[in-house]
Structure 1
Amino acid sequence: MSLILFAFVVRVRDGLPLSASTDFEHNRELQERKHQLRTISKSLAHFPDWGTVKGQQLHIHFTSSEGVSYLSVCHRSLPVAKAFCFLEDLRWEFTARFDSTVVALAARPYPFLEFDSTIQKLKQQYNQSGGPALEVTLAEVQEDLKIRPPQVINLDEVELTNGITNGHAEQSPAAAGKNQRLEPVTPPGILSLVLNIMCASLNVIRGVHLIENTFQDDYEGIWNVGAFFLAFICCVFQCHLYLFHSSQKKLKSFSLLIIIVLCNLYLLGLRNAWQLVFHVVVASLSTFLILTRKLQHRTDDCGV
């Protein structure tokens, strides 16, 4: 049984992947740990030089030095000292081949893929013999661990730190809503948009026409003008609510529907019953579609 399953080398300042071992095992927990490696790698600047994230069967160990961090996914039966000894050997091998200037100038992910062969040899050595060839190295690591034990990292804290680092934590509801995606627009949705635009156009045309008559005769019809334009604004907002996610969608949609109904009832003398029914039905259809259009579920990116 392999005790060291995966190794990962990243740049600390931005979590840029530099190299990784070839993955030959595909169990579910390993894939989860690999996904967590990405989260951890983006938060390394906030953690001490070495730490551990414990899992059910697999643990993550990492150590950082000179702007580069070395991470591994190991079986829980592997002693902690040997896990960090592996990381120390990995660090020596990496720094012997790549200097800090080359690492700092790296601009694309995995620029040192050729280092994979070195990682594989080191993994094979540890998995076959159960530890390093030099017991002196193991003894030094054990002594360091006694003096300065690795910090046990809580994964929830890692994800929170990563969110704050990338500007996604503690967002206001309005800001969070802007980052949500709704389900695709349906044919009934397109129909409701067209009908809503038609109702909005009829309201603004009638309102403008009534303004001319009101200014020429008297100002008694100014409330009718206001009702037409208020209904126009509500139709426009119904289109916006359907197309874009908004907080308190239910409250806003019902409020718009009630205002449209009241405006049309007020304008009953200027509209016949069929026109009133048409406007109310279109507003009701729009409200129903606004409330039934759900947020789109996004799948997590689980690759490393």
Structure 2
Amino acid sequence: MIYFSLISRISDGLPLAGTTDVSYENDDPDFKLAYKELKRVIRKCDKFPDRCTYTPSTYSIHFISALGLTFSVICDSSYPTVLAFSFLDEIQKEFLQQYETEKREKATRPYTFVEFDTFLQKAKTRYKHPRTLTTKLDLTTLSQEIRLRPPYNISPEEVNPPVGNFVLSTSFRTSATSHRHFVPLGLFGWVTVAMNVFCSCLNLARAILLMNEGHIDDFDSEVYQFGALFLLCCLFFSYQVYLMCWPTNMRKPLACATLGSICLCQLYLWEHRTSIQMLFHITVSCTATFVIFTRQIQEKLPQYNL
């Protein structure tokens, strides 16, 4: 029979929904082992094919991956494989129908869709007796598909690499091992990034134009000094893009320093720019600083208490 099911996000391993009534199995050491191994498999699922089976004990773990999600189940090793994957296909269709992509991607807390457990319990009850269930389901197509493309059997070495084997221990490192990452940018954030890239390109073009106008034998001329200032502005705007897109230590002080440097450059370049151009560059830089300050880093809980 089916004992436990879990729906998680591939990008960071975040569990979105799962079965809650597993306390009655906690005294079984084999189930504890399968439960522990499931957590390890989930963190490495993007390294495996989209349909896999892993049997660490008297229990088997089956999972499918699709659309950035992993649907997994723990059941008896004697439970029919075709029924286990039929169960996974069923909960996959229902979950994708109930929760849109945007809602799934915005979830930040474990078990955000805990109410989906109601459907999981009903499905578990239906799949509890395989003999009676096979007469109610049309498993012909799925059986043929599994026979033609059987699930990949994961070996214990792939889940638990040998200690001391550096290559194996690092080959399964996934994005779920990163404990710090930004909450996704919204429309305002992406527009700000685009404007910063635009300003960076403008300053680069002005720097190249000014330096082409200078005399190659006169490196101390003001033309080259202003060209260098335009080039610095280009670098500062590019650095703001970096601070907006990647989590960095001390990013807020660095953002303030970058904003001050851009404003200072505008003062030096007032002869080569109109007031509107200067105001535009300062506004874009201030907006980027605001995004850097307000964009939050999402700290991932290492185990998510699965």
TM-score (norm 1): 0.51
Counterpart residue identity of residue 25, structure 2: E
The one-letter code of the counterpart of 1:151 is Y
- Map of 2:273 onto structure 1: none
Name 1:121's counterpart in structure 2: 122
**Pairing 1:111-150 to 2, within 5 Å after superposition:** 111-128=112-129, 130=131, 131=133, 134-136=136-138, 138-150=139-151
Name the residue aligned to 1:14: 12
**Relative to structure 1, is the Cα distance of residues 17 and 162 closer, same or farther in structure 2, using a 3 angstrom cutoff?**
farther
Instruction: Report deviation, 1:155.
Output: 2.5
Question: 1:104 maps to which residue?
Answer: 105
- Post-superposition offset of 1:156: 2.1
Q: CA RMSD in A?
A: 2.4
CA distance in 1, matches of 2:127, 2:121: 10
What's the counterpart of residue 191 of structure 1?
none
Structure 1 position 141, deviation (Å): 1.3
- Can you give the 5+ residue segments of structure 1 that lack an aligned partner in the other structure? 168-300
Contact 2:34–2:59 (CA<8 Å) still a contact in 1?
yes
Aligned partner of residue 121 in structure 1, secondary structure: helix
* Count of residues in correspondence between the two structures: 169
Name the counterpart of 1:79: 80
Percent of aligned positions that are identical? 29
* Deviation, structure 1 residue 100: 1.6
- Contact (CA 8 Å) 1:42, 1:162: kept in 2 or not? no
Determine the C-alpha separation between the residues in 1 that align with 2:40 and 2:89.
Answer: 22
Relative to structure 2, which stretch is displaced further, 43-52 or 96-105?
96-105
Deviations, residues 133-176 of structure 1 (Å, cap 9, x unaligned): 7422x222111101211000012212346754448xxxxxxxxx
TM-score with structure 2 setting the length: 0.51
Q: 1:12 to 1:302 in 2, by over 3 A?
A: closer
Provide the secondary structure at the position in 2 that maps to 1:135. coil
Return the alpha-carbon distance in structure 1 between the equivalents of residues 48 and 89 of structure 2. Answer: 18
Provide the C-alpha distance between the structure 2 equivalents of 1:16 and 1:101, rounded to a whole number of angstroms: 15
Q: Please tell me whether residue 55 in structure 1 is matched to residue 39 in structure 2.
A: no
The answer (yes or no) to whether the contact 2:63–2:71 under 8 Å persists in 1 is yes
Contact 1:51 / 1:153 at 8 angstroms: preserved in 2? yes
Structure 1's 29 and 71: CA in aligned 2 closer, same or farther, altered over 3 A?
same
Aligned counterparts, 1:194-213, within 5 A: none
Against the structure 1 CA distance between its residues 29 and 303, is the aligned structure 2 distance closer, same or farther, given a 3 Å change threshold? Answer: farther
Please tell me the residue identity of whatever aligns with 1:117: T
1:240-281 deviations in whole A, cap 9, x for unaligned? xxxxxxxxxxxxxxxxxxxxxxxxxxxxxxxxxxxxxxxxxx
Structure 2 counterpart of 1:74, one-letter code: C
Equivalences for 1:182-261 in 2 at 5 Å?
none
Following TM superposition, by how much is the alpha carbon of 1:78 offset from its aligned partner in structure 2, in angstroms? 0.9
Query: Per the alignment, in what secondary structure is the counterpart of residue 57 of structure 2?
Result: coil
Please say if residues 5 and 74 of structure 2, whose CA atoms lie closer than 8 Å, have aligned partners that are also in contact. Answer: yes
Structure 2 unmatched ranges of 5 or more: 162-167, 175-302
SS of the equivalent of 1:70 reads: strand
Structure-2 change in CA distance of 1:9 and 1:162 (3 Å): farther
Q: 2: distance between equivalents of 1:48 and 1:162?
A: 19
Q: Residue 128 and residue 146 in structure 1: after superposition, are their counterparts in 2 closer, same or farther (change >3 A)?
A: closer
- Residue 257 of structure 2 is matched in structure 1 by none
Match of 1:5 among 3, 10, 17: 3
Separation in 1 of the partners of 2:105 and 2:53?
Answer: 26
Give the deviation of 1:56 after TM superposition: 2.9
Change over 3 Å in CA distance of 1:163–1:41 after alignment to 2: farther
Shift of 1:94: 0.9
